[in-house]
A and B are shown apart, each in its own frame.
Chain A
Amino acid sequence: MEASNPSDRMTQGQRRWKMRKAIDVVARRVVEIGGISVIAAIALIFIFLLSVVYPLFDQPSIKAIGQYETPGTNDETLYLAIEEQAEIGLRVGQSGSLLFFNVENGEVISEKSLPIVADNHITSFKVVNEANRLLAVGLQSGELLFFQHHYELEFTETARIIHPDILYPYGEEAFRVTDGPILDFAIGDNEDSTAVIVRTDHGKVVYQSFDKESSFIDDATTLESSDKDEILTVDPVLGLLVDPEQEWAYILTEDGNLSAYDIRGDSFDLREKVQVTEGDVRPTTIKFLTGGISLLIGDSSGKLSQWFQVRSDGDLEFRLDKIRDTQIDNSPVVSLATEQLRKGVIAASQAGKIKLLYTTSERDLLSLSASDSAIQTLAVAPRADIFIAEDRHRNIKAWHIDNHHPETSLSAIWGKIWYEDYVKPDYIWQSSSASSDFEPKYSLVPLTFGTLKAAFYAMLFAMPLAICGAIFTAYFMAPSMRAIVKPSIEIMEALPTVILGFLAGLWLAPFVELHLPGVFSIFVLMPLGIIALALVWWKLPGSAKRYIPEGWQAAVLIIPVILIALLCVSVSPFIERILFDGDIRIWMSEELGIGFDQRNALIIGIAMGFAVIPTIFSIAEDAIFSVPKHLTSGSLALGATPWQTLIRVVLLSASPGIFSAVMIGFGRAVGETMIVLMATGNTPVMDFSIFQGMRTLSANVAVELPESEMDSTHYRILFLAAFVLFIFTFFFNTVAEIVRQRLRKKYSSL
């Protein structure tokens, strides 16, 4: 190698240079790619949250999947239904024929007929329980026949086969209710009992209730008659209804008169008569919304209205109230179908228009012109993904709908909604319940309110302490003491909030409850005591003052502050005895009507205040400390006192910095989770009282997200709550950051 000539050496040097150059380029690429991908990962949070939230506000889409002539004989269709898998439909015909057909192409799969003797025939039909697929027909002979469509699933190696069948849970024998023909009837049915009202000829309406007796030997159930009652109606009747819990029965006449009967007792008591339509408008159809609480009434003007029993504030009487209505079409509403698991409705008009809507969120999801003649019958699959409609010309059309989150809309999340069983429209958060026909209440308002309330009380506690502390530390404090105070406060910031929450919930909350008057007297006496001490200091002769150098007031105050606090706590029982009759909580609830939660906003204020003090303190302190020295020296040189200089010069120029400190502190208080989770009762109430708890967005997410089903509406709404928190804090922090950067620029130019 030593004999290598200069040109060789050159190439070696060049090679090395090339090598180094290459490494440089590679390093640059790696860092660039790495850096950009890290920044992209951060942006991903935003995009991902948005992508989960977005479908909530997506419009549903619909696709026609089939059109065919009504299968079966030429009789009138009484009822159409679709089974769970949305593959097989059922048609009940006027003649008693039961036909299972393919939903997409109308091919007949199997055909059965009801066991009705030759001289008898069907005079009426009703769905008893849609979820259990229990149906009934009323007969000429005054009898009712119950039947159930049933589907057996079979899994083979390659496919799933559905075997449709008809069962007779109360036996194949028809069931005698009255003597005349059953022209119309309604059945309320639950696990224990069944209530029936039938309308027979000459306007006679018979009410009868039955207890269910199930045999232990086989699955058969028999009905035992318990109560019976009879009334007469004069007006022509449009419809009868009995709710599944057998509390109310309704009779709607053709001229729009709705009578509500209380059937909770043994009898059939008329409670109320309401006119449901106005003027010439006549009701055309009536049906229960899923759950059997709300009535849906369609009328000849094309409107659909929702009614339910409201227990008015104060008195215990129920009153039927119109909750909301919506225009379906300009022609009369002729048929209705309700979703089984949600409060969705499909309504069709005489002119062949179909509209999908959702009651709770008051959303008109979509509408389409399905036919040029009236839609006679509608059916929705249990999972609400397929629906079919039959028009007057015996044409059936089938559609597939993608409609995953109809229960949300901006107004349902942020506005007042009148929920079933509530006395008035309100903001409610109640995301889940044991019952399946429960109406979920997704108003984020109580949670946002709780978040702001918690943050408000925390700021109320933290702001004076943090800002005053920052002023003293930055402007008055002796440097050697500052070197201790600043790191201590910084360590305070690092304390895990789970520890603060645990202390707040298990130590502070019981302590405050026991010493409530003492705690409040601390808030009053502490500032007064400090001022009094300052006065004492002021009056001291100059020689005594020299013992404590300027800038050490905070150290002097430590013992008095502790003493004042101890004094307040120790006199607390005496204050309680003298002023509040021994127990302040009882006194408050009796004299002032203020309820007391042990884990309340006061606790949150103190605990979360503790958590945000260091944030506000350190930023505000930086802002005040970095006010250029020549400004203050100038002011002092002109004869201003240190306090005047502070107020007129220092605070004025540092105020943007203090403002941004408060913003950032507020952002932190809004997002804090563990403290509120552990130190409040987590009840979503809207009460600003300092003695009541709250539920915040963040605590709600922490509690409910692990239990919510992926991609359900609940899941997405919790993501929305997180997204709201994200945007909220990001906004506040950005404002604060921009203010701070401006301030820094200003200082550097001074």
Chain B
Amino acid sequence: MNTEKLGFFKSGTPWVWLNAGAVSISMIMVVGLLILIAVRGLGHFWPKTIWEIDYLEGGNQVVLLGERSKIEAVSAKQLVASGLHLDFEEEFVERTLLKVGNRDMYGVDFKLIVKPAEIEVRKPVDAIVFERTQWGNFYGFLQSINENGSTLAVKPEMLWSELQERLKRVDELRDEIHEIEKFDIGKINYKLEKLRLSERSIELSGIQDAEAIAEIAAQRKVLDDEYEVLKGKLGKLYVAISRDQALMTIQNGQEKLIKLAGVIKASKPNAMGVGTKLIHYFVNLKNFVSDDPREANTEGGIFPAIFGTVMMVLLMSVIVTPFGVIAAIYLREYAKQGFVTRLVRISVNNLAGVPSIVYGVFGLGFFVYFLGGNIDQLFYPEALPSPTFGSGGLLWASLTLALLTLPVVIVATEEGLARIPRSVREGSLALGATKAETLWRTVIPMASPAMMTGLILAVARAAGEVAPLMLVGAVKLAPSLPLDLNAPFLHLERKFMHLGFHIYDVGFQSPNVEAARPLVYATALILVVVIVLLNLSAIYIRNHLREKYRTMEH
């Protein structure tokens, strides 16, 4: 133990420390990653200050209005290399990515500005940000409110509360419109499509059933009439919603009329205290989780993606649990333990290491094209050539992921079964129970936490897996949820949105990556939180279980 005598290097101390360093680096990376996602993801919802900047651009002074979304130090040389003309001497320049919004006017949401060219920076209390259904955020100052084209006579200090009043009305109208468009008209369209298909299947059967065709025509008539009624109602609502407009001023005194119909939320972040900001923060967070996405997924919420992920994972669990458990029971309790069982066990173990994309390829080839194609031929000929089950969908995605997570469940269950002491089984058998009874009454209940662990791990893996889903049914934007009020309620053939795929799509396929970036962080945060919680609970159950058996063995 007298390492001190050996000298620094010979004692091995530096190497021990290097090994320790590896652990700390790994830990820092894990924790740092989680913190990075958490900060960026959560920061997105915090109402940000709007800055008014007098900025020198090409010799002219302009006024810019926007949020600072990223600040970094850049070497002047790189800036010059990127074609910027600089009139100052500094080596390093602070560069800000300013979110100026107003995409309908400027074409882009962002502007890169450098510190030395900022002449004066202010924090105007009256600056307003509009969250809009189209064209992203709008930044400006409220001048007046128009109703049906004529300016309202409101005192300037009442303008803001008047605007909020009117926005509330618009919001109610928008909800009403959404209700009609999505549910009522969606239902009619669904029924009409059903009618078209049944008509087509009558046609395909070759029997001239005039009565049935007349029946369909009558039903269609009813639906068309209903649709006309709704359309009239919608028309009125649209007129009502586009009543109000806000006259806004933006940089350099320019004016712009904004229709309130397109404004989701108006706020004055510079006038807010911390308390108000907190309220806004949680409202934003709630909306993010419960809203539909807007503008090619770069804005709005992620509700359909959460819903799709949950549906898929639930369905997968329903499929994978019984099969995984039965396979594990077979391997551990019934199969003759020998070379073949060992081989099978190794194969099952190895399948957990097979790349997920391979499962996706199999899912696409076997489930979607082979099974789905044949199901369409047999049961849905009236819809051909547009596929029903012959293209990716919820069912196939769940089946593919069930196959992918099968090894996880089998391995965990087997481990649980193996941990149960022999004495428990033998005791039950000695009391006259059959093997099935022993399994059902004693072994399986004891192994159930292990199964639970397996299932949780499977769910955690499935929730985060994206590569196979790209092939078997996850889409950028699903027109309708896989579960709705139209019979048969659960639509297994529908495509769905998925959190992981959403991250990939918005982060890499979206037209406006910069604007969508905070949203991707927020989505990633939600996914990470769900998966970390699932894993922690699996670890907890497993450790708990070990303790339990340890006490039982002695």
Residues of A at the B interface (CB closer than 8 Å) are 20-21, 23-24, 26-28, 30-32, 34-36, 38-39, 41-42, 44-45, 48-49, 52, 464-469, 471-473, 476-477, 485, 487-492, 494-499, 501-503, 505-507, 514, 526-527, 530-531, 533-535, 537-538, 553-558, 561-562, 573, 576-577, 581-583, 586, 610, 613, 617, 641-644, 646-647, 664, 667-668, 670-674, 677-678, 698, 701-702, 705-706, 710, 718-719, 722, 725-726, 729-730, 732-734, 737-738, 741
Contact = CB atoms under 8 A, between A and B. Distances in A.
Given A42-B348, A502-B508, A558-B27, 9 more contacts: A23-B436, A30-B326, A41-B403, A49-B358, A488-B31, A534-B13, A537-B17, A581-B77, A643-B12
B84 interface: no
B11 interface: yes
A678 B353 CA distance: 21
A610 B30 CA distance: 9
Contacts of A741: 346
Contacts of B503: 498-499, 502
B3 interface: yes
B520 A617 contact: no
A491 B327 contact: no
B329 A31 contact: yes
Interface in B326-364: 326-327, 329-331, 333-335, 344, 346-351, 353-362, 364
A495 B18 contact: no
Nearest to A728: B355
B544 to A, nearest CB: 13
A583 B77 contact: yes
B75 A530 contact: no
A554 B434 contact: no
B78 A583 contact: yes
Contacts of A722: 357-358, 361-362
Interface in B242-292: none
B508 A38 contact: no
Contacts of A558: 24, 27-28
B12 A719 contact: no
Contact of B508 (A473, A668, A678, A733): A678
Contacts of A701: 357, 360-361
B281 to A, nearest CB: 23
B75 A573 contact: yes
Given A702-B470, A725-B357, A488 B27 contact: yes
B355 A476 contact: no
Given A487-B539, A502-B507, A577-B75, A45 B359 contact: yes
Contacts of B322: 34
B68 to A, nearest CB: 17
3 A-B pairs closest in CB distance = A35-B330, A671-B355, A643-B12
A48 B362 contact: yes
A657 to B, nearest CB: 15
B31 to A, nearest CB: 8
Given A495-B464, A673-B356, A641 B22 contact: no
Contacts of A573: 73, 75, 92
A613 B471 CA distance: 28
B483 interface: no
A539 to B, nearest CB: 9
A623 to B, nearest CB: 15
Given A28-B435, A526-B21, A674-B504, A34 B323 contact: yes
B33 A577 contact: no
Given A23-B434, A487-B539, A554-B23, A35 B329 contact: yes
Interface in B430-476: 434-437, 439-440, 457, 460-461, 463-467, 470-471
Nearest to B3: A641
Given A465-B26, A561-B25, A702-B470, A38 B353 contact: no
Interface stretch (B152-160, B188-196, B298-306, B528-536): B528-536
B8 interface: yes
A508 B539 CA distance: 30
Q: Is the interface of B mostly helix, strand, loop or mixed?
A: helix
Contacts of A26: 436
A476 B15 CA distance: 12
Given A23-B434, A499-B524, A32 B531 contact: no
Contacts of A644: 12
A32 B322 CA distance: 13
A670 B29 contact: no
B81 interface: yes
Contacts of A489: 26-27, 30
B215 to A, nearest CB: 26
A561 B17 CA distance: 12
Contacts of A471: 19
Contact of B326 (A31, A52, A492, A705): A31
Interface range on chain B (Cβ under 8 Å from partner): 35 or more
B436 A45 contact: no
11 contacts: A49-B358, A49-B362, A471-B19, A494-B457, A502-B507, A502-B524, A506-B517, A531-B18, A668-B353, A673-B467, A706-B471
A38 B323 contact: yes
Contacts, number: 336
Contacts of B504: 498, 501-502, 674, 677-678
Interface in B347-384: 347-351, 353-362, 364-366, 369
A52 B365 contact: yes
B14 interface: yes
B533 to A, nearest CB: 10
B91 A577 contact: yes
B21 A527 contact: yes
B539 A698 contact: no
Contact of A671 (B11, B356, B464): B356
A472 B16 contact: yes
Given A496-B527, A643-B16, A491 B500 contact: no
B535 A494 contact: yes
Nearest to B359: A45
A642 B344 CA distance: 41
Listed residue (A21, A44, A718, A726) with the most chain B CB atoms within 10 angstroms of its CB? A726
A664 B353 contact: yes
Contact of A38 (B8, B15, B327, B513): B327
A718 B15 CA distance: 46
Contacts of B435: 24, 27-28
